[in-house]
């Protein structure tokens, strides 16, 4: 299924003995659909020389889909259920870009991927500002203080003013914003970008579409050299507005950025090739290297010599007949080599890593070695689950891989009543695997499943039928919101569960969950029960 013939990427890597010594930057791109994530991904790969033509990433993806036997749903819908990893090298840095699936394949995997990165690029459409999905993903980053670089995309098109956008980011996300470049204007007024870090101006050549022209040295934003290269009024507005911006927004502060308190902002156009090099520069010079990861009995430092890693995503049904799975592992310390033996902390079973996969650009290859910050795919037959810790030796368990409260709830109904046992086992298995949340109401016998994105319901139906022979149907659920409930005061928690008995349920691990009809009811209960914490996130223990 995976190519073993050397690709150009692999040859480079085999030839480069210092490959494992390259510094890592492991990051994701978060955005709302259509903000330009795919275009930016291509731009980044292109800028790093990993693909040669813009559009190549998509074309290769299409070819691969056509020849592999991915899940049927994928083929029917022509989309990818899977989130992939793209690795590329630029200078002394190896970038691992983790894809966060959006559109219809938005799912819990999208959220969990963000627990495996050290940094994220947030793409915002200059005309739309912060959109709902961006905000949700940002909140997930905030749980772990993941540092964010903001890319304001599509400055070649009409949009909001740079000031308005910066103020919106600062206000909505409660972050300090620090512009790293400044456009002469947006849309028709866009004649180029002044780059603060380089003290250079990049001319937008508008003669034949908008394309990057020459870089000119400019010691300051009002340098007369800029006025000679672009129309006078554009240079004047750059000097005036850019000057004001630089005076009023905070300067870049690496510590505040790495703590998740400040976001450097780059204006640009993924489609036209503006601002992309600068994003890579910021990640390379100021982006965090692999960070220590929360674990029991103590956090694991990336410098520890023993191999450790955790599974943040399991991709199933690469071949439904063989129950094949690929577990995506983030390496947290040590060195992973092909054939090595590791232990799964859950259950203590040993596991040999015969065919670990790495991802170069968009190709998959057998891995020769991986170090802290790298992502490796481990093919298995269902032994590895989301949240599992793999370790070479010693006792360690990574913590903090959260479960997220579902955004879609459905009551399940079985087509064939004789298959109740199979259905229950299937639902329990898939809940444990992290594919769905499963809620068993305290009153009544109809189970409720919860997911983050619609497509997960299709995945659930398909897998239950294929793997457990149970045909499942969904009914609307009377509830729209589910929250884990806990309290420091056991008597109060008991009073809640008794008073709101008909709303109470248990998740797959027996943890109490309150099911609510809508956001309004959620708000009211929160007000009425101040001693109870209503949580949208649950850490796997």
Q: CB of 38: closest distance to ligand GDP in angstroms?
A: 3
User: Smaller CB distance to ligand GDP: residue 212 or 426?
Assistant: 212
User: Smaller CB distance to ligand GDP: residue 133 or 503?
Assistant: 133
| Contact yes or no for 25/119 (Cβ under 8 A) | yes
Q: CB of 192: closest distance to ligand GDP in angstroms?
A: 15
Q: Which residues bind ligand GDP (CB under 6 A)?
A: 31, 33-39, 153-154, 156-157, 269-272
Report which of 332, 331, 366, 338 is spatially closest to residue 352, judged by C-alpha positions.
338
User: Smaller CB distance to ligand GDP: residue 104 or 462?
Assistant: 104
Sign of the CA dihedral with 153 first, then 155, 157, and 162 last:
positive
Q: CB of 274: closest distance to ligand GDP in angstroms?
A: 8
Q: CB of 37: closest distance to ligand GDP in angstroms?
A: 3
CA distance 214 to 195: 13
Report the C-alpha dihedral over residues 68, 73, 76, 82, rounded to 10 degrees.
Answer: -60
Report which of 65, 69, 93 is spatially closest to residue 79, judged by C-alpha positions.
65
Contacts of 396 (CB under 8 A, 6+ apart): 295, 296, 297, 300, 308, 345, 389
CA distance 341 to 326: 17
CA distance 541 to 537: 12
Q: CB of 55: closest distance to ligand GDP in angstroms?
A: 10
Which tokens belong to 437?
Answer: 């949340």
| Contact yes or no for 371/331 (Cβ under 8 A) | yes
User: Smaller CB distance to ligand GDP: residue 193 or 218?
Assistant: 193
User: Smaller CB distance to ligand GDP: residue 35 or 173?
Assistant: 35
Binding residues: 31-38, 99-103, 153-156
Q: CB of 395: closest distance to ligand GDP in angstroms?
A: 42
Contacts of 137 (CB under 8 A, 6+ apart): 30, 31, 100, 110, 111, 114, 120, 122
User: Smaller CB distance to ligand GDP: residue 157 or 424?
Assistant: 157
Report which of 298, 390, 378, 381 is spatially closest to residue 344, judged by C-alpha positions.
390
Strands 119-125, 148-153: pairing is parallel
User: Smaller CB distance to ligand GDP: residue 130 or 318?
Assistant: 130
Binding residues for GTP: 31-38, 99-103, 153-156
For residue 193, the surrounding DSSP H or E stretch is: strand 192-195
Q: CB of 155: closest distance to ligand GDP in angstroms?
A: 7
């Amino acid at each position: 299924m995976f190519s073993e013939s050397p690709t150009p990427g692999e040859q480079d890597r085999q030839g480069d003995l210092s490959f494992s010594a390259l510094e890592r930057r492991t990051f994701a791109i978060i955005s709302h659909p259509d903000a330009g994530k795919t275009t930016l991904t291509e731009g980044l790969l292109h800028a790093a020389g990993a693909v040669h033509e813009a559009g190549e990433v998509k074309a290769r993806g299409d070819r691969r889909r056509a020849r592999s036997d991915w899940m049927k749903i994928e083929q029917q819908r022509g989309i990818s259920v899977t989130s992939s990893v793209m690795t590329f090298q630029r200078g002394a840095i190896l970038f691992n870009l983790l894809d966060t699936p959006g559109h219809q394949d938005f799912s819990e995997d999208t959220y969990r991927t963000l627990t495996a990165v050290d940094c994220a690029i947030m793409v915002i459409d200059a005309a739309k500002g912060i959109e709902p999905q961006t905000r949700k993903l940002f909140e997930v980053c905030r749980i772990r203080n993941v540092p964010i670089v903001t890319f304001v995309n599509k400055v070649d098109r009409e949009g909001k003013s740079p000031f308005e956008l910066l103020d919106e980011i600062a206000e909505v996300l409660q972050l300090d914003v620090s512009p790293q470049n400044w456009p002469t204007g947006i849309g028709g007024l866009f004649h180029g970008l002044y780059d603060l870090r380089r003290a250079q101006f990049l001319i937008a050549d508008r003669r034949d579409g908008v394309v990057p022209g020459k870089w000119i040295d400019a010691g300051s934003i009002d340098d007369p050299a800029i006025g000679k290269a672009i129309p006078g009024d554009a240079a004047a507005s750059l000097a005036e507005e850019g000057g004001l911006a630089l005076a009023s927004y905070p300067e870049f502060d690496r510590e505040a950025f790495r703590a998740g308190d400040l976001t450097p902002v780059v204006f640009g156009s993924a489609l036209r090739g503006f601002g992309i090099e600068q994003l890579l520069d910021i990640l390379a010079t100021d982006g965090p290297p692999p960070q220590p990861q929360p674990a029991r009995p103590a956090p694991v430092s990336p410098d520890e010599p023993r191999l450790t890693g955790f599974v943040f995503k399991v991709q199933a049904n690469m071949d439904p007949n063989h129950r094949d799975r690929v577990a995506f592992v983030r390496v947290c310390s040590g060195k992973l080599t092909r054939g090595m033996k590791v232990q799964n902390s859950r259950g203590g079973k040993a596991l040999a890593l015969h065919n670990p996969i790495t991802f170069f650009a968009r190709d998959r290859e057998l891995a020769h070695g991986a170090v802290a910050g790298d992502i490796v795919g481990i093919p298995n037959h269902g032994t590895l689950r989301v949240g599992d810790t793999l370790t070479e030796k010693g006792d360690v368990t990574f913590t903090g891989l959260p479960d997220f409260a579902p955004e879609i709830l459905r009551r399940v109904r079985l087509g064939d009543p004789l298959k109740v046992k199979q259905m229950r086992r299937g639902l329990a298995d898939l809940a444990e695997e992290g594919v769905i949340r499963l809620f068993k109401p305290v009153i009544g016998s109809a189970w409720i499943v919860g997911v983050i994105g619609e497509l997960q319901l299709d995945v659930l139906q398909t897998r239950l039928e294929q793997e457990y022979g149970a045909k499942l149907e969904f009914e609307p659920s009377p509830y729209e919101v589910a929250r884990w409930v806990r309290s420091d005061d056991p008597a109060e928690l008991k009073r809640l569960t008794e008073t709101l008995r008909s709303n109470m349920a248990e998740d797959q691990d027996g943890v109490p969950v309150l099911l609510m009809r809508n956001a309004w009811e959620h708000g009211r209960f929160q007000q009425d029960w101040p001693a109870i914490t209503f949580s949208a996130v649950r850490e796997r223990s």
